[in-house]
Amino acid sequence: MRRLSAGRRSDFSAKFMWFRLLAGLVMLWSLSNWLEQPGRDAAQAQEERNPTLEELEAPATVGDPAGASAAPAGATNKPSARQRTLLDTIRDGGYIGVIIILLSVVAVGFIIEHAISIRKQRLMPDSILDPLEEMIARGDIAGATEYCQAPEHYCLATDVVLAGLQRYQASDFGFAEYKSAAEEAGEDNTARLYRKTDVLAIIGAIAPMLGLFGTVEGMIGAFNAIAETQGGVKPADLAGPIGKALITTWLGLLVAIPAMIAFSYFRNKIDSLVSDCGKRVERILTPLARKR
């Protein structure tokens, strides 16, 4: 039956996979638009302030104010430097920058999923544990077992209690063995929660390494440009490779730092919740210590 519970957990994780990816893409798109907006506003304001090229070159005409102020209807502004956007920065990072961005989407998805699943209301809800505690207190062990096996009552606490109840019923010395069974189930569930957060640790370790790889690749490109021109390279020719080196490093740190912070936060939260859950389960199973 505990294997069936594990299957339900796998189904739950699969259902949230697409939700995590979609949420990450939406957040990335929103952040991109938010960062691009100031550049668009500044470019538009500059375009409104700049005089046209024809206005600057037209000679002053005495006695003909109408002719002096006239300008062609299709006059265009003098070209000005274009404001760089977040998408331009990511594009300069090349394929390594794209990989790091994809890792950030995965990290955001897992952070959202962990924030939903790693909380007290999901791991040990009082609305489920209170009736279970009453059944065990009045000696309804069979009813408590069926209650824990019901899919709608599944949580970490009921899975641990179920292991203790099954050991209690299966052995003549179950009153002395139920606690070890509950401890084993608790360790299994705790390890499963820890494994969920390992993805964030992996992303936090890989992202800066990818950034360093992009840095090395960019510097190799810069030195190759110097070698090809025998030292006569222009600054514009070095800007691209050096920019890629810095951008990939920046992207790697931008992804790794929040991922490691989230990993540490969820690990500490799991420790706290598991400790509280163990105390609650021990209180629920206390009546089983009486010898049958």
The predicted-structure confidence for 174-211, as pLDDT tens digits, reads as follows 667 888 888 999 999 999 999 999 999 999 999 999 99
Query: What per-residue confidence (pLDDT) applies to 276?
Result: 92
Are the C-beta atoms of 205 and 255 separated by less than 8 Å? no
Which pLDDT band, with edges at 50, 70 and 90, does 226 fall under?
confident
Q: Greater confidence, 246 or 115?
A: 115
Query: What per-residue confidence (pLDDT) applies to 60?
Result: 44
Query: Do the domain assignments include residue 67?
Result: yes
Query: What per-residue confidence (pLDDT) applies to 113?
Result: 93
- The percentage of residues in the chain with a pLDDT greater than 70, rounded to a whole number, is 68
Task: Enumerate the H helices of the chain as residue ranges.
Answer: 2-49, 53-57, 65-69, 86-92, 94-117, 120-123, 126-137, 141-149, 156-170, 174-228, 235-285
Q: Greater confidence, 172 or 38?
A: 172
Alpha-carbon distance of 255 to 97, in angstroms, equals 11
Query: Do the domain assignments include residue 182?
Result: yes
Alpha-carbon distance of 79 to 277, in angstroms, equals 66
Which pLDDT band, with edges at 50, 70 and 90, does 72 fall under?
very low
Query: Do the domain assignments include residue 118?
Result: yes
Number of structural domains (the chain) is 1
Alpha-carbon distance of 75 to 58, in angstroms, equals 12
Alpha-carbon distance of 275 to 121, in angstroms, equals 15
Query: Do the domain assignments include residue 79?
Result: no
Query: What per-residue confidence (pLDDT) applies to 286?
Result: 87
Q: Looking at the predicted structure, is the pLDDT value of residue 75 above 50?
A: no
Alpha-carbon distance of 249 to 81, in angstroms, equals 26
Query: Do the domain assignments include residue 250?
Result: yes
Q: Greater confidence, 158 or 242?
A: 158
Query: Do the domain assignments include residue 110?
Result: yes
Which pLDDT band, with edges at 50, 70 and 90, does 157 fall under?
very high
Per DSSP, what are the bridge partners of residue 122? Answer: none
Closest CA to 116 of 23, 250, 215: 23
Output the average pLDDT for the chain: 76
Q: Looking at the predicted structure, is the pLDDT value of residue 252 above 70?
A: yes
Q: Which residues contact 269 (CB under 8 A, 6 or more apart)?
A: 118, 119
Domain containing 121: what range? 2-74+84-289
Q: Looking at the predicted structure, is the pLDDT value of residue 119 above 80?
A: yes
Q: Residues 254, 22, 34, 262: is their CA dihedral positive or negative?
A: negative
Which pLDDT band, with edges at 50, 70 and 90, does 43 fall under?
very low
Alpha-carbon distance of 242 to 219, in angstroms, equals 6
Query: Do the domain assignments include residue 97?
Result: yes
Alpha-carbon distance of 94 to 41, in angstroms, equals 27
Phi/psi at 211 (5° precision): -60, -40
